[in-house]
Amino acid sequence: MTQQTPAPVQVRPSHQVEPGGRPTLTFTARRRGKPPRHLADLTTAERSEVAKELGLPAFRADQLSRHYFAHLTRDPADMTDLPAAARDQLTATLVPELVTKVRDMTADRGATVKSLWRLYDGAMVESVLMRYTNRTTLCVSSQAGCGMACPFCATGQQGLTRNLSTAEIVEQVRLAAKASRDGELAGGPTHLRNVVFMGMGEPLANYRAVVGAVRRMVDPAPAGLGLSARNVTVSTVGLVPAIDKLAKEGLPVTLAVSLHAPDDELRDELIPINSRWKVGELLDAARRYFEATGRRVSIEYALIKDMNDHAWRAQLLADELNARGRGWVHVNPIPLNPTPGSIWTASERDVEQTFVDTLRNAGIPTTVRDTRGSDIDGACGQLAAEVLVEKKVPAKEQQQG
């Protein structure tokens, strides 16, 4: 599909690495194939036109859309209000299979399910469905791999394979909503309430598809799934022009900024995109987002032992946020979920507490993120990497034999 680039950035191809073996920052996908057309990619008017092209009344597309978005099914057998002769034709044309489950892993006594999905071209993405006391949340992927090259992130180390389409993102949400409704999480049936774009990929580097997916999520049936925009969170490592563009979309979603360091010297090392848009520019854009939408911004901060967890950095972060006003931001420190063999590890508990106390004492609302699925390689990208390794090992053994 056509790559959406928020602003010119000098980058190298995603398959290249620096001399030390570290992936490089990129917006250029390895694959550019286009997924099959799906009704979630289309407006209601466009869906009606497809029905007419098939020789069917326009309202048949509306009926199909209600089955998909309201009843959460793409199975023709469930669509008894459609003429039998039209069901297979409509479903094959407008709700083709976009994702196939490869593997599920469960944690938290069944309250967390991490799923690996294979896309039409063999690319793989992950999603995580999490049941809490008062809500059920899906962490969704927007890209296969990621081009942001953050060294502590499993997905970032894979490089960018390709962007997902709007429908490929929405299909992850539909399947999670169906699993929740059908009682596939511990505790019985529940209702999917929250969606966070914190899975694989940089959402704002796939701007058009992500905004399209958000609109499908929040539009009422038959146009979409009917979720509340206020229960959708879009994260970014700091694509400033795209943040400003999102602020003008009229979608009151929560913006989450993956900051991870309050000073440019460290953030340049941790978050390569910081070489283009510095901490001050990013926080100014986040403040503008709050002013435009009235939605409090979340600052995501992965606490990495002896790297970014110093009390003085907590104070610097508080000073930077307070310099832009009060009441516009909330900080989520996140105990790092380390990847296998990584030099990066989570902060000690007492260091984490000091960091949190420093922020709170400065008047910054702060909540330590409840990390789920640490016993199932909860950080996105780890399960996909594991399966890729499994696929390579037999071939290698066969060659040796």
Taking each helix axis from N to C end, the angle separating 44-53 and 84-94, rounded to the nearest 10 degrees, works out to 130
Q: Which two tokens stand for residue 79?
A: 């669509």
Q: What angle do CA 260, 237, 199 make, to 5 degrees?
A: 100
Burial 43-53 (b: 16+ CB within 10 A, else e): eeeebbebbee
| CA pair distance 314, 332, nearest whole angstrom | 12
Per annotation, catalytic residue among 320, 380, 390, 397: 380
* Per annotation, catalytic residue among 126, 171, 184, 202: 126
Report residue 229 as tokens.
Answer: 């925009």
Sign of the alpha-carbon dihedral angle for 80, 86, 89, 91: negative
Residue 300 annotated among the catalytic residues of the structure: no
Say which residues have a Cβ less than 8 Å from residue 258's Cβ, sequence separation at least 6.
Answer: 235, 236, 237, 238, 271, 300, 302
Whether 281 is catalytic: no
For the chain, the C-alpha Rg in angstroms (whole number) is: 21
Listing DSSP states for 317-371 in one string gives HHHHHHTT-SSSEEEEEEE--PPTT-S--BPPHHHHHHHHHHHHHTT--B-----
Catalytic residue numbers, as ranges: 126, 380
